Amino acid sequence: MNPSSTKVLFVCLGNICRSPLAEAIFRKKIKDKGLEDYIITDSCGTANYHVGDSPDPRTIKNAMQNGVAINHLGRQLHHHDLVHFDLILAMDESNLRNIHRLPNASQHSHKIKLMRSYDVYADTMEVPDPYYGTEQDFQQVFEILERSTENLLAAIQERFNS
Ligand code: 4NP
C-alpha cells in the first residue's frame, strides 16, 4: 500500500469529547514517531450540535492532564468523508449506524469500523459517552483511546512494512 494515502477519521456524536480527543492522542503518537507525512487524521460528529465549537472544557483539561494538546473545531460528518478517508472509526454503535446510513456508504463499508475493535481490553465495543459524566469518566475515555490508538498505529505501521 501507499503509506502517504493513510487518512484516519474519528467519529463521535458531538465532536467535542471523544473523537477530538482520539484525534489529538493519535496526532501526538504520529508526531512522536515522525510519521506526519504518512498519516493524516481528523475528527467529526454525526450531529451538528457543536459545529465550529472548541472541544468540551473537560476534554481539554483531561487531555492537558495527560500531556496531550488538543486543537480542533467541531464539524459534522459529510458523505464525502467516506470517499476521502481510508479508515473511519466510530466511537459507538449508534454512530456506526449513522455512518452506514450516509449516501453510498455500502461502497465504503470496508473502511468503517468501531474504535474499540483496536482495544485489546474491550469488555464492550463502545467508547462510553462522557458528556453527562464525571472527571473519572473522562479519564476512562482517555485510557480507552490511548490503548486503541496505540494499537491502531501499530496496525497501520505493520501495513507500511508489509
Ligand atoms: P461526544 O459527546 O459525542 O463524545 O462529543 C457529546 C457531546 C455533546 C453532546 C452529546 C455527546 N450533546 O448532546 O450536545
The answer, yes or no, to whether any atom of ligand 1 lies below 6 A from the CB of 49, is yes
Query: What pLDDT was estimated at residue 59?
Result: 98
Instruction: Give the integer Cα–Cα distance in Å for 40 and 5.
Output: 8
Q: What is the rounded CA–CA span in Å between residue 149 and residue 145?
A: 6
* Structural domain boundaries enclosing 92: 3-161
Residue whose CA is at the smallest distance from ligand 1 atom 13: 14
- Alpha-carbon separation of residue 130 from 16, 82, 154 (angstroms): 10, 26, 26
Per-residue pLDDT band for 4 (boundaries 50, 70, 90) equals: low
Which CATH number covers residue 147? 3.40.50.2300
Q: Which of 42, 56, 81, 129 is catalytic?
A: 129
Question: Which cell numbers hold the place of 125?
Answer: 465495543
Number of domains in the chain: 1
Mean pLDDT of 66-95: 98
Stated pTM of the model:
0.97
Taking only the tens place, the pLDDT of each residue in 23-37 is: 999 999 999 999 999
Mean pLDDT, all residues of the chain: 96
Distance, CA of 14 to CA of 76 (rounded, Å): 8
